[in-house]
Structure 1
Amino acid sequence: MTTPRDLLIVAMDSESSRPLERGDLSLALAGAELIDLLGAQAVRLDGDQIVPGYRPAIPDRLLDQAAASLVQQMPYESVDDWLWRRGHGLAAAYLAALEDDGELTRQHHRWRPFGAGRTVLADSPARRQAEDRWTSQETVLTALASAAGIDGSQTGDEPDVADDAVSTVLAAVHDAVTELEAERQRRTIEKAAFDNIWRGNGD
């Protein structure tokens, strides 16, 4: 399994006090992909620029797609640009991949045997691996979970990460999520103001 898949499993397994924002999770998943590519030496960072390395054999198809999508020539892509480009719709893509791989199951209600049911995680080795990383508070996974807004993750000061490149990615994920939240709040304020104008015109 990969860090993005582990992160999605943790997100689905965690009882959150508020609904997770899919955009936040997608940005965190894109960061998780980049961290795994760093670990595979498929990329390195030059400052905040993503420089491709050799192309390893990657059995996970989504992570392999991520490696294939790397900008191969200068000027290379920044970490921030990668998060926004690669993160677009990424949560849905990983959810579909889990379902295709049999990691999800439909929970049917006995009174509605032919209903669509609710999608839940299957009891699988992949789920247990993700749970092990989560319960052991593995640094990278908990930092990504914190950025995505998953309850039970570390809060407050960011955990120390020995690898400077990984630290750069984690910081970029947090910044991107903060930027996305600011944009959501701006749109909410604008919508409220627009609604007030219409209500005022209707009086």
Structure 2
Amino acid sequence: MTTPRDLLIVSMDVASSRPVERGDLSLALAGAELVDLVDAQALTLDDDRIVPGPPSEVADRQLNDAASSLSRQTPYESVEDWLWRRGRGLSSTYLAALEAEGVVARQRHRWVPLRTDRTALVDSPARRHAAERWTSGEPVLAALAAASGIHEPSEDSEDLSDDAVVTVLAAVNNAVMELEAVRQRRKIEDAAFDNIWRGP
């Protein structure tokens, strides 16, 4: 199992005080990929620049896709640019992969025997693994979950000592805040537009 897969499962399995925004989750998933690729030595960080390692296969298909999409030209891509580029629609990509593997199933309506757009986790080793990692309070998963709005930030995130991981997590938090600012600006603009049409 990988951090992005565990994060997506946790986002579906843990009760949240507010709905998790897909954009926030996608940014956090892209950050989770970087964390795992650092751990797999597929890349290193030079300040906030992603320096890819020699081309190599990573066991997980989605992580392998992520590794193969790293920019190999200098100046290398920044972590922030990676999050926005790679994160676009990433939650849907991971959800489709989990559904194809049978970890997630489309729910059926009680009265109409057609599949709906609602998805639910099934009991599986992947779900149990993510739950174990979550209940253990693993700090990277907890920090990514906090960034994506699954739960409130905890003090455990302060225990992280790997500079590369700290850089990635900080970039995820900044990107999520930037996305929220864009949402708020759009709400204000939409409200102002509605007021113009309603008139005095």
Name the CA distance, whole Å, in 2 between partners of 1:170 and 1:29. 11
Higher mean displacement: 39-48 or 55-64: 55-64
User: What is the CA distance between 1:60 and its match in structure 2?
Assistant: 1.4
Name the CA distance, whole Å, in 1 between partners of 2:198 and 2:154. 41
Q: Report the AA paired with residue 53 of structure 1.
A: G
- Give the TM-score of the pair, scaled to structure 1: 0.93
Provide Cα deviations, 1:139-177, integer angstroms capped at 9, x if missing partner: 0000000000003x5346843211000000000000000
Provide Cα deviations, 1:43-85, integer angstroms capped at 9, x if missing partner: 0000100001123321211111100000001010000000000
CA RMSD in angstroms, aligned pairs only: 1.6
Alpha carbons 1:43, 1:52 under 8 Å: kept: yes
Q: Runs of 5+ in structure 1 lacking a partner?
A: none
Q: Show the counterpart of 1:139.
A: 139
Q: Residue 105 of structure 1 aligns to a residue in which SS?
A: strand
Name the CA distance, whole Å, in 2 between partners of 1:81 and 1:109. 41
Q: Show the counterpart of 2:196.
A: 197
Name the CA distance, whole Å, in 2 between partners of 1:156 and 1:114. 45
Q: Runs of 5+ in structure 2 lacking a partner?
A: none
**Pairing 1:67–2:67 present:** yes
Pair 1:101–1:47, CA change in 2 (3 A): same
Alpha carbons 2:139, 2:157 under 8 Å: kept: no
Provide Cα deviations, 1:15-59, integer angstroms capped at 9, x if missing partner: 222111100000000000000000000000001000011233212
Alpha carbons 1:30, 1:86 under 8 Å: kept: yes
Q: Show the counterpart of 1:17.
A: 17
Name the CA distance, whole Å, in 2 between partners of 1:50 and 1:115. 41
Higher mean displacement: 15-24 or 44-53: 15-24
Alpha carbons 1:108, 1:117 under 8 Å: kept: no
Alpha carbons 2:147, 2:153 under 8 Å: kept: no
Name the CA distance, whole Å, in 2 between partners of 1:149 and 1:143. 10
Q: Show the counterpart of 1:165.
A: 164
Q: Which runs of 4+ in 1 moved over 6 A?
A: none
